[in-house]
Structure 1
Amino acid sequence: MTDQRFIIEMGMGNDQYGMDYTKAAARAIEDAIRHSSIPLFDATGLPHEQMRVQVTVGVAEPEKVDCAELVKGLPRGRASVTAVEGGLNVTNPDSGMTLVIATAAVEAFLPKQG
């Protein structure tokens, strides 16, 4: 049976001082989740374990993201996180500090219903 996507949320996060891509990605995921309220589970009695959560984060250097660590921060469902090229690095010419900006798409799927 094919899963059916029932939500997609987008978020943005950054790390201003540490060039920590995982931290920026975590903040983008948190931003996306904060914009969601899903009464579906209370209304239908479906268990959260049936939900598959697929997260895609975009950063300038995806190899520097600890996807396994990000999965630990997701509150419900069976989760996976993938890092892809995206986001943005912005360097301050005065200090040389680089601001890491990440974007995230959080998608939730359930088995096709009735």
Structure 2
Amino acid sequence: MARKRVILELGSGNDLHGGDYTKAALRAVQDALHHSSLMMIRSLGIDAKTQMFVDVTIGVQQPERVDTEAVRTSLPYGIVTVKARKGGLDVADPERGDNAVVAVAAVAVRLELP
């Protein structure tokens, strides 16, 4: 059986003060999750903890500053993988020496289907 994508949700999140890329990433993932209901998983009798594969891609300007393990453990179900990539947006505030971070998240759910 092949793993086929059955759900793709997108979200965005930010950290307006402090430049915390992980906080922005976590908010983006939560935004994506709040757009979705996994009724299909239950209806098919799939064990969401062991038979659902979740691929998370985070886009931020400094991907190396995202704690991907913190993002991974924030998802309640599935076998989760997280990748951080260049993307998102940084908005500098030179007067305060502060940086607003905007992250985007793509959360894909795959199931083993014939």
| Length-normalised TM-score, structure 1 | 0.94
5 Å matches for 1:33-72? 33-48=33-48, 49-72=50-73
Show CA shifts across 1:22-49 (max 9, x none).
1100000000000001211221211112
Distance of 1:43 and 1:61 partners within structure 2: 39
For structure 2, list consecutive stretches of 5 or more residues without a partner in the other structure: none
Residue correspondences, number: 113
Q: Which runs of 5+ in 1 are unaligned?
A: none
In structure 2, the residue matched to 1:30 is 30
The CA deviation at 1:92 is 2.0
Q: Which residue of 2 aligns with 1:9?
A: 9
Q: What SS does the corresponding residue of 1:26 show, helix, strand or coil?
A: helix
The answer on 1:91 being equivalent to 2:96 is no
Query: In proportion to residue count, which structure has more strand?
Result: 2
Percent identity between the aligned chains? 45
Q: Normalising to structure 2: TM-score of the pair?
A: 0.94
List 4+ stretches of structure 1 deviating above 6 A. Answer: none
CA RMSD of aligned residues (A): 1.0
Looking at structure 2, the residues matched to 109 and 41 of structure 1 have their Cα atoms a distance apart, in angstroms, of: 11
2:111 maps to a residue whose letter is L
Q: Aligned ranges for residues 75-114 of structure 1 at < 5 Å?
A: 75-113=76-114
